[in-house]
Copies of this chain bind each other. A is one copy, B any other.
Amino acid sequence: MSQSYNVNRKYSSKLYKRAKEVITGGVSRNTIFRRPHPFYVSTAEGSYVTDIDANTRIDFANNMASLIHGHAHPAVNEAVMEQLQKGTAYTLGTKVEIEFGELLIERNHNFEKIRFVNSGTEAVMTMIKAARAYTGKPKIAKAEGAYHGTYDFAEISQIVKPENWGDIDQPNSVPVTFGTSDCVKNDVVIFPYNDTERTLNLLEANKDDLACVLIDPVSHRVGMFPIEEDYLVAIYNWTRKNKVLLVFDEVVTYRVTYSGAQELYPVKPDMTALGKIIGGGFPVGAIAGDAKIMSVFDPTHKIIKQPHSGTFSANPITMTAGKVAMELFDRQAVDDINNITDIAKKQIAEAAKDADVPIILTGAGSMFRFHFRHKAPRNYRETYQCPEERKLIVDFLDYLFLHEDLIMINTFACMFATTITQVEVDRLTESLHKGFIKFKEKIHSCAK
């Protein structure tokens, strides 16, 4: 399909041949892979990315939601260039890691203490280990379909299908990676998102062994809808009663409000994993939360329950870029980006209505996801895309990328940057409208 668009691809196509010679599958991140080949960037600025074949596209993916101010923001770059002259990493501390820590803690009253790491994967792994270190219990519970990085415990049942997901009363623990140890599977309890009765039953059955319940409050892969408040409150109350920790993965969702999606709910997570936008475009992760629980890391204690370092953790380049990016992402900037996203969603809904296609948009704050549905999904099984639907999405995204010059996330989602204006929103709407008409028949046949 994608070959049929008349797009400049000579240099990207050639480069991918070289890539395959040295990099497995030609990519270090499957995210950027597309058939027949990925495209390679020449330069980027704000919301515009130009590839090496001189195609310029509007970016609604922003490196998988990690660039809240788009590409090459001048204020971030200026601060990074100043730090570069002083070095990028030391076997000593820096003032900026403290200033950035203060800034993030000031923004969220659930964050009493913080520790920085190098990625979202490291943040979730370190947080899960901390939950075990604090409680002395081995198991974790997570939602079916939720993505939490590549730590094998966190990865269980991220990818499941009707053939292997099992009984909804007791969903199977399905490893993502071949050869995952049975013991990993057995230490992970899988529950259905937004299903209070079943979830509480599953937690109750494992209560003596559970270190934590891991929640992404607007889980992208589950369907990118905010978790239902009653459901979350029920889980929260259960964890309080049973001395199990409630930990949030806000690596993606921190962007939703000034202090994360957790601000929307009357619960207090014990710890939160952060990443993506807080790095200002550089590799980052963080764990923030309850001071007493996080004291498992404390090197001043006689017994350090969780010794923790990391060669590049809290490096001053990431801290500098992150601090500038988050200072710029103030309450006004959060309101503005959420408002322009709401305008986009409204325009898109109108375009879908006009084209007479059943589209549901889910999301929160500055992110949203498309579903070919008559009714909004509430959990992973309702969101699940059958092969026919998956193919439609790949084709639709190919059309948008190759013909309409729009970059979107491969689940069919948008993650806005503060550099998006009405101009880009109008382009997005018009392109989607054309796509809705082009794929109308297939959308109707997929929609449930």
Q: Which residues of A contact B (CB under 8 A)?
A: 12, 15-16, 18-19, 21-33, 38-45, 49, 51-52, 59, 61-64, 66-67, 71-72, 77, 80-81, 84-95, 97-98, 101-102, 105, 113-122, 125-126, 129, 131-138, 150-152, 159, 176-184, 186-187, 211, 275-276, 279, 281-284, 291, 294-301, 304-318, 321, 407, 409
| Complex: chain B residue closest to A64, CB-CB | B311
Contacts A25-B299, A44-B87 supplied; 20 other A-B pairs, CB < 8 Å: A24-B291, A27-B93, A30-B297, A32-B90, A43-B86, A63-B90, A71-B86, A71-B90, A72-B86, A80-B84, A89-B282, A91-B409, A118-B118, A118-B283, A129-B152, A136-B178, A138-B181, A177-B305, A181-B183, A183-B184
Q: Given contacts A31-B309, A90-B63, A92-B49, is CB(A297)–CB(B152) below 8 Å?
A: no
Interchain CA distance A87-B179 in the complex, whole Å: 37
CA distance A101 to B42 in the complex (A): 18
Task: List 15 contacting pairs A-B, 8 Å CB cutoff, sorted by A.
Answer: A19-B98, A22-B98, A23-B101, A24-B113, A24-B295, A24-B297, A26-B300, A28-B115, A67-B89, A81-B81, A88-B281, A125-B150, A129-B179, A134-B178, A282-B312
**Contact, CB under 8 Å: A29 / B295:** no
User: How far, in whole Å, are A245 and B113 apart by their CA atoms in the complex?
Assistant: 41
| Cα distance, A40 to B43, chains bound together (Å) | 35
Copies held by the complex: 2
B95 contacts A312, CB within 8 Å? no
In the complex, which of the residues A38, A44, A102 has the most CB atoms of chain B within 10 Å of its own CB atom?
Answer: A44
Interchain CB contact (< 8 A) of A63 among B25, B27, B77, B91? B91
Instruction: Tell whether, in the assembled complex, residue B22 and residue A113 are in contact, meaning their CB atoms are under 8 Å apart.
Output: yes
Q: Kindly state the separation between the CA atoms of A27 and B86 in the bound complex, as whole angstroms.
A: 20
- Tell me the smallest distance from the CB of A302 to a CB of chain B, in Å: 12
Inside 8 A of A63's CB, which chain B residues have their CB? 89-91, 311
Contact between A18 and B86 (Cβ–Cβ < 8 Å)? no
Contact (A95, B40) CB under 8 Å given A102-B18, A119-B122, A311-B276 = yes
- The interface residues of chain B lying within 8 Å CB-to-CB of A279 are 312
- Residues of the B chain whose Cβ atoms lie less than 8 Å from the Cβ of A275: 311
Complex contact A98–B18 (CB within 8 A): yes
